[in-house]
Amino acid sequence: MDRYIKNPFHFTERKKDGIMNSAKKITTLLATFFLSLITFAQDKKTEMADMMKENGRIYVVVAVVLTILIGLILYMVRLDKKISRLEKEN
Amino acid sequence: MTDAKNYMHKSWWKIASIVLLGYTVVAGFLGEVPRLPLLQETIRNLYFHVCMWFAMMILFTVSVVNAVRYLRTFNLKYDIYARHFAVVAIVFGLLGYSTGAIWASYTWADPNKPAYNSFSTIARDPKLIGAAIALLVYFAYLILRDSIQDIDKKARISAVYNIFAYAILFPSIWILPRILPSLHPGNEDNPALDVKNDISGSMRIVFYPAVIGWTLLGVWIATLKIRFTLLKEKKMVS
């Protein structure tokens, strides 16, 4: 490229011609088309149990599982204590 | 035969196990998970099914370490340790296998075919066959133990067998399924440990604590059985 051109605006300023205008139109059209495609793809995202979280029913499941876990742990603690007592007796 | 108070009588790691398991359940059900087709919400099984296998591997490692300790010292205490850690590991393995069967029948099965048709495909998966081989080898460990009357002979032979069983464990559950085409995930890189392109960060913060929690629970059960057996042996001697 010539760095010492006489008129620097000559290169940067372009005349608006017909081809360029139609190219712009086509790109805008394509852009909107792809935008709609993206939103369409988002609508079809993987189904998850979002409903469970929204209405809070998932907390019921967590409560049930936690209760079972606590029950089993309490049983373990009791066993541990019993064995400790036996060990002391011996 | 019983020794002074050791880690089995400490309570801090038992509390840690309880806290971690509680966290696993709460964060496991409520935490964010990636939205993946087919898996969907069942991806949360990672905190339960995969942890069973991780706990199993760690407990089998503890078992083989105690087998080696027995062979070095010929102290029967270590034989009891090795046996009970192996038994709890087998229980975790069976739980891992059955939870995997449930999970696979909903995610691997072909919905267009009858259930038994998909079953034959699933049952032929190398990962399942490998896991079955590993578990059968350890079943044989228990059978071998209980078939020998002499206590010292039993301890020595089963300790040696334990080392052999451990040697076949990792080839059959990790190496063999990688050589053959398998439906089971985690056949590339370092499954569940690869930081870049494996399970997401939001799952990682639940999965690793879950592994530690389940393993500590297994250790707890094993130590209870060990303490009970040691008491029983002591009574028999006196």
Cβ-defined contact of A65 to B30 (cutoff 8 Å): no
- Provide, as residue numbers in chain A, all residues whose Cβ is less than 8 Å from the Cβ of B224: 76, 79-80, 83
Distance CA A58, CA B25 (A): 12
Residues in chain B predicted with pLDDT less than 50, given as ranges, are 1-2
Q: What is the pLDDT of residues A10-56, one digit of tens each?
A: 555 556 667 767 777 788 877 776 666 655 555 457 778 888 778 88
Q: Any chain B CB within 8 A of the CB of A67?
A: no
Q: Indicate the domain borders of chain A.
A: 9-89
> What sign does the dihedral B51-B58-B220-B149 (CA atoms) show?
positive
Instruction: Give per-residue pLDDT as tens, B128-171.
Output: 899 999 999 999 999 999 999 999 999 999 999 999 999 999 99
Q: What pLDDT is stored for residue B118 in this prediction?
A: 73
pLDDT on residue B226: 95
Is the confidence at residue A9, as pLDDT, over 60? no
Q: Best of B18, B24, B84, B234 to disrupt the A interface by mutation (most A CBs within 10 Å)?
A: B18
Mutate to test the interface with A, among B224, B225, B235 (most CBs of A within 10 A): B224
The residue ranges of every structural domain in chain B are 11-237
What pLDDT is stored for residue B162 in this prediction?
97
Q: In A, which residues are within 8 Å of B37 by CB distance?
A: 46
